[in-house]
Amino acid sequence: MRPRPMRERLTSARRWVIKVGSSLLTADGHGLDFDIISAWTADMAQLLDDGVEIVLVSSGAIAEGVVRLGWSRRPDAVHELQAAAAVGQMGLIRAYESGFERFGKITAQVLLTHEDLSNRRRYLNARATLTTLLDNRVLPIVNENDTVTTDEIRLGDNDTLGALVANLISADVLVLLTDQEGLFDSDPRSNPDARLLERANASDPSILALAGPSVNGLGRGGMSTKVLAAERAAQTGATTIIADGRVPRILQRLHAGEALGTMLTSDQRPRDARKRWLGSQLRTRGALVLDAGAREVLTTRGSSLLAVGVTDVRGDFHRGELVSCVDAAGVEIARGLANYGAADCRRVAGKSSEQFFDTLGFMAEPELVHRDNLVMIAR
């Protein structure tokens, strides 16, 4: 067999975010797999010695809690999930801390919610905390704060969290360790001739179509969430690797340039810090429907959104909240911070900026969304 080419892009990568999935951590649902955790901590400790900065995003708290509580399956009720997370997080962090202590490495626990990342001040505080830890050669272990999250502030899955953290700290590499070899051109569980994709463009819609949902009851993610995470991580120019976490010394081998798993990149240009924050937010409060002219101006000229190009206003939002900009078919073109609340937007929709004062009695800004607070959605 012809050897696979080396990946030079990873050998020089300085800052990594590594995400570990529940299916790997919990030994088929029978509690934490301490042997594989021990192997990963040894692997990461070597990377740290080689000068790589690492943030670990780890699933497994709820899955470990379910086992510790003696439940036969992952529950659906929010209060039960939160109880399982509270119990399981203790064992998860203790396992990692014990593993890294063998090599004299200091760890820290960081729990995040969507609310922490959607609020600009808290976003910057989280970034400052993580970068300070990295500057002091501490390995942060990040998880979603499942003990307090509700549907309104839930990030959804740790693949998404891994991508958001990669954007937060401007990581070079996002590694998504899973129980699959990588992304295939068809489902390897049903097609023995399925071919592993060595490289792919995360922004290619056909790649997302190849990905499937989770096939076990331990985690919330699947291969589709990993492809979406890769596209999101590309906002900072990060390269994403989907690889089998059971492969011996997987992280050191990736760092050495060995072509394992699937490498996902994107042809979109990296965004500046503020636009990256806007694009990383997962929830909008409403939508502004654009006519064909406004759609063209936003997509080709990078201009601000004026009221004259808005045909409809959906939802209930306040000034400064995040809104989607969608075309007549409902396809999201961009998102940004509204200069006016929903009620005022409805009153001025379709009007020129010169009519704002007569219509509203004031004019805060001439645009509904200024281009500095507007980010395009790559498709």
Per residue in 260-291, pLDDT tens? 999 998 777 767 767 777 776 667 889 999 99
pLDDT at 296 over 50: yes
Q: Which pLDDT score, from 0 to 100, does residue 310 have?
A: 97
| Segment 48-76 mean pLDDT | 91
- With pLDDT > 70 as the criterion, what percentage of the chain qualifies? 88
Nearest by Cα to 97 from 140, 145, 46, 35? 140
CA 345/CA 332 separation, integer angstroms: 18
Highest mean pLDDT, choosing among 83-87, 311-315, 362-366: 311-315
Sign of CA dihedral 299, 338, 279, 277: positive
Q: Which pLDDT score, from 0 to 100, does residue 173 have?
A: 94
pLDDT at 76 over 80: yes
Residue at 311: amino acid letter: T
Strand, coil or helix: 18: strand
Strand, coil or helix: 138: strand
Q: Which pLDDT score, from 0 to 100, does residue 147 have?
A: 62
- Phi, psi (deg, nearest 5) at residue 342: -60, -45
Nearest by Cα to 327 from 366, 282, 272, 376? 376
CB 285 within 8 A of CB 316: yes
For residue range 23-40, what is the model confidence (pLDDT) as tens digits? 888 766 667 899 999 999
CB 325 within 8 A of CB 287: yes
Q: Which pLDDT score, from 0 to 100, does residue 118 have?
A: 78
The second-level CATH assignment, the architecture, of 284-376 is Roll (2.30)
CB 185 within 8 A of CB 228: no
- Phi, psi (deg, nearest 5) at residue 295: -60, -45
CA 90/CA 93 separation, integer angstroms: 6
- Specify the pTM: 0.79
Strand, coil or helix: 253: helix
Name the band, by pLDDT with cuts 50, 70 and 90, for residue 218: very low
For residue range 107-123, what is the model confidence (pLDDT) as tens digits? 999 998 877 887 778 88
Residue at 43: amino acid letter: D
CATH of domain 8-275: 3.40.1160.10
Q: Which pLDDT score, from 0 to 100, does residue 273 have?
A: 67
Highest mean pLDDT, choosing among 34-48, 226-240, 359-373: 34-48
Intrachain domains 8-275 and 284-376 with the same fold: no
Q: What is the DSSP string of 287-306?
A: EEEE-HHHHHHHHHH-PPBP
Interacting residues of 2 by C-beta distance below 8 A, sequence separation 6+: none
pLDDT at 81 over 90: no
- CA Rg value for the chain: 22
Strand, coil or helix: 356: helix
| Segment 235-255 mean pLDDT | 93
| Segment 208-225 mean pLDDT | 59
Name the band, by pLDDT with cuts 50, 70 and 90, for residue 133: very high
Query: Sheet harboring 15-20: ordered strands across?
Result: 106-112, 138-144, 53-58, 15-20, 173-178, 239-244, 262-265, 199-201
For residue range 326-358, what is the model confidence (pLDDT) as tens digits? 999 999 999 999 999 999 999 999 999 999 999
The residue ranges of every structural domain in the chain are: 8-275, 284-376
